[in-house]
Chains A and B, each alone.
Chain A
Amino acid sequence: MSDTTMGRISERMPRFIRRIEPPVAISFACIILLLLFGGLYSSAFLSADYLLQQLKVASFLGVIATGMMLVILLGQIDLSVPWVVAAGAMMACAATAYGPAATLAAVPIGILCGMLIGLVNGIGVAYLRIPSMIVTLATNAVAQGLMVVYTGGFSPRDFATEEMRYLATGSLIPGVPNALIIWAIVGAGMVFVLTRTTFGRAVYGIGNRERAAYLSGVNTRRVVMIAFIAAGGLSAFGGVLLAGYASKAAQGMGDAYLLPAIAAVVLGGTSILGGRGSYLGTVAGVILITLLLSILSVLQMPEAGRQIIYGVVIIAMLLLYGRSPANQ
């Protein structure tokens, strides 16, 4: 029906446009609309400085959403983001207490902590067959408990190292923030893994129907576990970057990233049921959410209004293209 007409119309378009899915196109169109709307208010919204600043802020969410997307593509969800982000940041900062060698290794240490939590998630989901929503909720609670005990026992060294600050706020190429470069590298890696490796194809396969993927000879349990480890590592990496940006780690720093990460992935057209979605969509979703929140705060919209508009935009956009098929 509508799919075939869409198909016929799009056959006349150039190939590169044809390959873009409607959700991705709508998201990018919304980004441009937002910028035009902002530009009417003040030309500062269209300046390169402002845009680069937004991309820099977006890259923290982008790194976290990358991991979330991998898990959502499998048809699972990772609710442990808040305290994995915090744990990654706090452990990286804590490493400075153990001599110069540990200080140098602060970033890998933070990421490793996230991967460990991801490993627990992965074992629970893949091997113990517990629903991901429950396992990740529980590991989130455990990670929170560990961090509370850790910070409560003695006063932690919670300042970010030079390297972390450089990663988050410096710029290797003049004018281009390092955080943005990191997001680009992470994103490129993700695109490569998803489209050019058997692992990536297995992720899509499992998201569509795990039973079928298993019968086709995919070691589905290992793939799911690796995906959760990667998601944990990426969340923690996002936390490390955030700590570098704020130059210190704090307990509640990850709370504000769980729902935006899910929203960004879903707004980008990835199905929450798994198996469908492209990384370009996630990029669009991340930029859209960051830009929306930023423009609303520049317009001095109070927090309450920002929350409401944020919720309305998520629902309205999903009603546009995120609906399930009509018939059962």
Chain B
Amino acid sequence: MKDWRYWLAEQRGTLVALAIFALMFTIYISNHPAGLTTNVAQTAANKGTLLALVAMAQTLVVITAGIDLSVGAILVLTNCIASMVITGNAFETTLGVVFVLFVGALCGALNGLIVIYGRLQPIVATIGTGAIFFGIALILRPLPGGTVNETLADAMTGKVFGIVPASLLMLLAIVLVVWLPFCSSVIGRAAYAAGSSETAAYMSGMPIRRGKFAAYTLGGLLASIGGLFLTFFTYSGQASSATASTYTLLSIAAVVLGGVSLFGGRGSAIGAIFGAFAFRAIGDLMFVFDFDALWQPLFQGVILLLAVSIGALGLWRVRNRLEWFG
């Protein structure tokens, strides 16, 4: 086989996600009354970016064969903190942003420590830490409110040169600065290897613990960038348990649509980004077709159910029934 075939096989999940997104977005745009204007693109980009950030955070943990049920709580906690510290002049604002990112990374690191050194299952450990993070958010912001530096907020959610949505550029920057270095480094490969087969990775002397720790910490960091973004949209902070649980569940859905295997070791954050945008586009389809908004959750649910059932097509290739139990 030629090299590009290997590459194609490795990137299949990402490409499928890209295809789903392209299809959904084309249907959306061709039926949109205004067509593809810069404003339509900006709105779509902003909504997609928020989910994409959380989905990337989830991906990092999922490739180590873990799951982060606290990702929504980290989003809400950093949203609340951002609504308190990102004000004042340029220096204070920068300091505030750095602090928010630091808190996010700290939350992720705590998850990592408990999972790696506490040896708890990620699913239950992050249920616990999620409750703690949400509790802290409630202490900080019992009632919705707060402010954010509006110049920064408008710049991040606006358009660059009047055409390109700033949020997309930021997402691209994050992929270039965080994701690509991570997944081509030894630590990143160790995270993949740990997710694929922890025993084999251990036997080969991969730095599993460091890889996993880096994945959880970067996951927290990305979730906090999501928290920043949420603050930039709403200009305020709110400790809402609905937001936390919705984003946790949507992040898993986006990761699945993005072709990342929940068993770990396979998939990429880029796929998760397309998954997130595809999921948002599906939700928006309802509006351009003038359906009652009430039908949106059902429509989204059915699409999700169909999308995950596609994975079952692999069953046709099973030649030996024992392969069912993988």
Binding site for A on B (CB under 8 A): 67, 69, 114, 118-121, 123-125, 127-139, 142, 198-199, 202, 241-242, 245, 249, 252-253, 256, 262-263, 292, 294-302, 304-305, 308-309, 311-312, 315, 321-322, 324-326
Query: Is the CB of A139 closer than 8 A to any CB of chain B?
Result: yes
How many angstroms between the C-alpha atoms of A312 and B120 in the bound complex?
Answer: 14
Residues 236-280 of chain A: 1 if any B CB is under 8 Å from the residue's CB, otherwise 0? 000000000000000010010001001100100000110000000
B135 touches A307 (CB 8 A): yes
How many angstroms between the C-alpha atoms of A273 and B262 in the bound complex?
Answer: 15
How many angstroms between the C-alpha atoms of A137 and B297 in the bound complex?
Answer: 13
B252 touches A306 (CB 8 A): no
Q: Quick check: which of A45-53, A98-106, A122-130, A184-192 contacts chain B, the rest being far away?
A: A122-130
Minimum Cβ distance to chain B for residue A273 (Å)? 7
A142 touches B125 (CB 8 A): no
How many angstroms between the C-alpha atoms of A306 and B139 in the bound complex?
Answer: 11
Secondary structure of the A contact surface, majority rule:
helix
The chain B residue with its CB closest to the CB of A309 is B135
Secondary structure of the B contact surface, majority rule:
helix
A214 touches B322 (CB 8 A): yes
B131 touches A211 (CB 8 A): no
A308 touches B118 (CB 8 A): no
Q: Which of chain B's residues have a CB closer than 8 A to the CB of A315? A: 114, 118, 120, 125, 128-129, 132
- With beta carbons under 8 angstroms apart, the residue of B242, B298, B308, B322 that contacts A146 is B298
A148 touches B294 (CB 8 A): yes
How many angstroms between the C-alpha atoms of A211 and B325 in the bound complex?
Answer: 6
The chain B residue with its CB closest to the CB of A206 is B325
The chain B residue with its CB closest to the CB of A310 is B131
B315 touches A129 (CB 8 A): yes
Query: Is the CB of A314 closer than 8 A to any CB of chain B?
Result: yes
Query: Is the CB of A210 closer than 8 A to any CB of chain B?
Result: yes
* Total contacting residues, chain A, CB less than 8 A: 57
From 135 to 174 in chain A, residues with beta carbon under 8 angstroms from any chain B beta carbon are 135, 137-146, 148-149, 152-153
- With beta carbons under 8 angstroms apart, the residue of A79, A130, A153, A318 that contacts B124 is A318
A128 touches B120 (CB 8 A): no
User: What total of A-B pairs shows CB separation below 8 Å?
Assistant: 171
A124 touches B132 (CB 8 A): no
From 48 to 91 in chain A, residues with beta carbon under 8 angstroms from any chain B beta carbon are 77, 79
B127 touches A314 (CB 8 A): yes
How many angstroms between the C-alpha atoms of A259 and B136 in the bound complex?
Answer: 18
- With beta carbons under 8 angstroms apart, the residue of B142, B202, B325 that contacts A210 is B325
Residues 285-328 of chain A: 1 if any B CB is under 8 Å from the residue's CB, otherwise 0? 00000000000000000111111111110110011001111101
B139 touches A304 (CB 8 A): yes
A214 touches B311 (CB 8 A): no
How many angstroms between the C-alpha atoms of A140 and B118 in the bound complex?
Answer: 31
B134 touches A307 (CB 8 A): yes
From 221 to 236 in chain A, residues with beta carbon under 8 angstroms from any chain B beta carbon are none
Q: Which of chain A's residues have a CB closer than 8 A to the CB of B315? A: 128-129
Query: Is the CB of A131 closer than 8 A to any CB of chain B?
Result: yes
- With beta carbons under 8 angstroms apart, the residue of B123, B132, B294 that contacts A307 is B132
6 tightest A-B CB contacts, nearest first: A145-B298, A141-B301, A311-B131, A307-B135, A304-B138, A308-B135
A138 touches B304 (CB 8 A): yes
Query: Is the CB of A133 closer than 8 A to any CB of chain B?
Result: yes
- With beta carbons under 8 angstroms apart, the residue of A134, A312, A323, A326 that contacts B252 is A134
B132 touches A312 (CB 8 A): yes
B138 touches A303 (CB 8 A): yes
A304 touches B135 (CB 8 A): yes
Minimum Cβ distance to chain A for residue B224 (Å)? 19
How many angstroms between the C-alpha atoms of A306 and B241 in the bound complex?
Answer: 14
How many angstroms between the C-alpha atoms of A6 and B33 in the bound complex?
Answer: 72
